[in-house]
Copies of this chain bind each other. A is one copy, B any other.
Amino acid sequence: MSQYRTFTVADAVEYARQYGQMPDPQALVSADEIGDGNLNLVFKIRDRARISRVIVKQALPYVRCVGESWPLTLDRARIEAETLLIHGALCSHHTVRVLHHDPELAVMVQEDLSDHHIWRSELMKGHYYPQAVGQLAEYLAQTLFHTSDFYQAAQAKKAEVSRFTNPELCQITEDLFFTDPYHDHERNQFDDVLLPHVTVLRKDTALKLAVAGLKHRFLSKAEALLHGDIHSGSIFVAEGRLKAIDAEFGFYGPIGFDVGTALGNLLLNYCGLPGLLGPREATDCREQRLLDVRELWLTFAGRFLSLCQQHSRDVTLATPGYAEQFLQQVWQDAVGYGGTELIRRTIGLAHVADLDSIADPEMRAECQRSALNLGRTLIVNAAQVEHVDALLARIRQHG
């Protein structure tokens, strides 16, 4: 770690020249630091025409949005790069390309995706990318199947579980998803108007019991190498294209967590749309979001199942019918984890623009309450909602 130093703009340009795999490295002449996330420095490295050509991302030894008082391991940069390299090998179309990484500098050079947009922003504007959901489902199925016990040899997988042990980043998830929102904690953030709702939620025994189960499974179920934070802000889209980025939360966890995070973000958008576009104008978009939820699950499950049927290497897990049975558990986990994403993004530390950027305070509060209600419904009923169509029926009924 001795080699670590925080990059300046000049360092980033120099590093990109060296490791950016550019045919004309000297063309790289300037950089902007554009990290708007919570944790890292992100440099866009530009050529003389100010065109962004490559990205240099460096982890800081603390949580950027909080400051040096919250130190955070630099090892997350290694985990992010190694997760993306594995996911990229399994699903190159939909994983950002890592050109170089250095664990000691906690730095990674990755392809530039300036011709893409952050999916969340597009969803908020009501811009529809017809292939995005199917591509995300493909990404999830390929990466999760091939790192699962269906495909990986048991001994190799155990070594990978150790390699991707990610205690500090996992703890952030453990705290922010499963603990803080259900307790009075200083990290929580929400408007006073939600307090009565939050108070009811914290006394909800059925809800807290189900959340305990979800947290316990997050802590103990090493099913596959997850992205670990696959929300709509970790996904770039363009016409016919989709790329996952930001895999520093990568670890071996329950498959339903990745699927549920993705579903949860579609539903956060569903809840926010009336405030973002206006209640009437949002109708079609909201209906599309529900169809997206349906497509995401059905495409993921279909693809995962067909991979199991064609490529399972574990002779026992290949027993006909077992993959279907397992996917039913993944579905129930996904519904529950999706619910925790809805709740923690509404009243926890890290919010989403789908809700927070709603200008009208009353409308914002209404959308937030709707997210909390839907989150609770998902979590408490996860075991009973046996099929995605039953989920959609509940959501439509719920309003």
Chain A residues in the interface with B (C-beta under 8 A) = 149, 154-155, 157-159, 161-162, 165-168, 170-171, 174, 178-179, 182-183, 205, 208-209, 211-213, 215-216, 219-223, 314-317, 319-322, 325-326
Contacts and interface: CB of A to CB of B under 8 A. Distances in A.
A182 B321 contact: no
Nearest to A219: B149
A328 to B, nearest CB: 11
Contacts of A168: 155
Contact of A319 (B161, B174, B209, B221): B209
Number of chain copies forming the complex: 2
B174 A154 contact: yes
20 contacts: A154-B219, A155-B171, A159-B165, A161-B161, A161-B162, A161-B165, A182-B316, A183-B315, A208-B316, A209-B322, A211-B319, A212-B322, A213-B322, A216-B317, A216-B326, A220-B222, A220-B223, A221-B221, A221-B222, A222-B222
Nearest to A177: B316
A325 B383 CA distance: 14
A183 B319 CA distance: 12
Contacts of A220: 149, 221-223
A161 B319 CA distance: 28
B317 A215 contact: yes
Nearest to A252: B220
Nearest to A323: B212
Contacts of A165: 158-159, 161-162
A167 B171 contact: no
Report which residue of A170, A182, A321, A322 has the largest number of chain B beta carbons within 10 angstroms of its beta carbon.
A322
Contacts of A159: 165, 167
Contacts of A167: 154-155, 158-159
B319 A208 contact: yes
Contacts of A149: 216, 219-220
Contacts of A317: 212, 215-216
B316 A179 contact: yes
A216 B314 CA distance: 10
A165 to B, nearest CB: 5
Contacts of A219: 149, 154, 157
A319 B162 contact: no
